[in-house]
């Protein structure tokens, strides 16, 4: 039995690692669309089409539940997929909502009207496509009022991480934080709105300062998934776990092993 986890590349491994730690008895089938990464510079229709194709591949492999461990896919494709109607017995969940619930201190499934929250000034670091979608602001408005969100499109960071150039990635992080601070000098909290960015969390924290609370998604999504599966145990699926990629399996395996610091072997999707 396996739950599907999808990302445009390797960033979703941060969510996968947290989910495996939180749910050691659950198998996960990970699919990274490395042949088409990064998604953050693509238009919404392109992201939707690529995401739909990947999710259908995971459904075909026996995953009844698929987590979009990609903020760009969650922003551009999730609502459209859900509103278009999903096959019977299939579900797709994104990574925005657990993050927003943590930021606004709301319990999972709390559907009460939006209310004022303690955090008033939030910095959002995300891919250009996620920033352009304004999906984070839309979901936040369902749960909180009076929150000022300043978004910073972090071009180049995902590419640097995927290439394993962490020195360049760190330099880009500092540059993007500086650009954000010119627009919002004193953020109270920062959202790492891309599942690649937890790999650079210390760089973000250092550039922002220790007084800024930094939210990233791995543990938050894993906890929400555990809650969901407790309430919907039938969504565990019938497939087997593993790692799939649309890219070069050998190269992706090497990069993934560096990411998680344990041997990861991908197969062709």
Question: Which residues are catalytic, by number?
Answer: 70, 194
> Quick check: 64 and 40 in contact, CB under 8 A?
no
How far apart, in Å, are the Cα atoms of 225 and each of 26, 92, 171, 245? Answer: 11, 11, 33, 23
Separation of alpha carbons 205 and 202, rounded Å: 5
- Kindly calculate the radius of gyration of the chain based on its CA atoms and give it in whole angstroms: 17
> Quick check: 100 and 107 in contact, CB under 8 A?
no
């Amino acid at each position: 039995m396996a739950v599907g986890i999808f990302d445009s590349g390797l960033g979703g491994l941060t969510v996968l690692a947290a989910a495996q730690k939180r749910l050691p008895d659950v198998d996960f089938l990970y699919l990274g669309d490395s042949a088409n990464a990064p998604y953050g510079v693509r238009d919404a229709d392109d992201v939707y089409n690529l995401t739909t194709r990947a999710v259908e591949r995971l459904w075909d492999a026996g995953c009844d539940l698929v987590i979009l461990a990609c903020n760009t896919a969650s922003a551009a494709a999730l609502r459209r997929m859900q509103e278009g109607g999903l096959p019977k017995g299939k579900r797709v969940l994104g990574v925005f909502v657990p993050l927003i619930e943590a930021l606004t201190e709301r319990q999972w499934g709390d559907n009460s009207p939006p209310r004022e929250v303690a955090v008033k000034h939030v910095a959002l670091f995300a891919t250009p496509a996620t920033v352009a979608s304004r999906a984070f602001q839309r979901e936040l408005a369902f749960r909180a009022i009076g929150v000022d969100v300043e978004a910073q499109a972090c071009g180049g960071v995902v590419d640097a991480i995927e290439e394993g150039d962490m020195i360049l990635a760190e330099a880009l992080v500092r540059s993007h934080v500086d650009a954000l601070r010119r627009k919002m000098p004193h953020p109270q909290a920062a959202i790492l709105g891309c599942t690649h960015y937890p790999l650079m969390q210390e760089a973000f924290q250092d550039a922002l300062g220790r007084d800024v609370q930094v939210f990233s998604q791995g543990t938050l999504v894993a906890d929400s998934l555990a809650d969901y599966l407790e309430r919907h145990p039938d969504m565990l699926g019938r497939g087997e776990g593993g790692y799939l990629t649309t890219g070069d399996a050998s190269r992706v395996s090497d990069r993934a092993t560096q990411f998680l610091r344990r041997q990861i072997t991908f197969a062709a999707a």
